[in-house]
Copies of this chain bind each other. A is one copy, B any other.
């Protein structure tokens, strides 16, 4: 069973915050609005512009992304905690 996000929504699997290390991204534990890292599991077809055209997504399945801690809505699929949010809630893509 799979989820197909509508429009500009993405489905994200949270990745554990890494501890400080070479090349690792450290998310401060106490920050109230700390960003969170995750992997894009599914992405919509894109945001519908005011003229009705679809703007392709800037992220794709497999991308590692940063987003706000409280962004999105949590869903459980196949026993796995996932997040659904809009592309505009994404802050940055972690380049590999």
List chain B residues, Cβ under 8 A from A5.
Answer: 91-92
**Contacting residue for A79 out of B26, B58, B59, CB 8 A:** B26
A58 and B34 alpha carbons, distance in the complex (Å): 27
Min CB distance, A57 to chain B, in Å?
A: 10
> How many of chain A's residues touch chain B, expressed as a range?
35 or more
Whether A58 touches B7, Cβ cut-off 8 Å, given contacts A28-B76, A75-B25, A84-B35, is yes
Having A1-B94, A25-B76, one finds 13 other A-B pairs with CB under 8 Å, namely: A2-B94, A3-B66, A3-B93, A3-B95, A4-B92, A4-B94, A4-B95, A6-B59, A24-B78, A26-B76, A35-B84, A51-B52, A68-B73
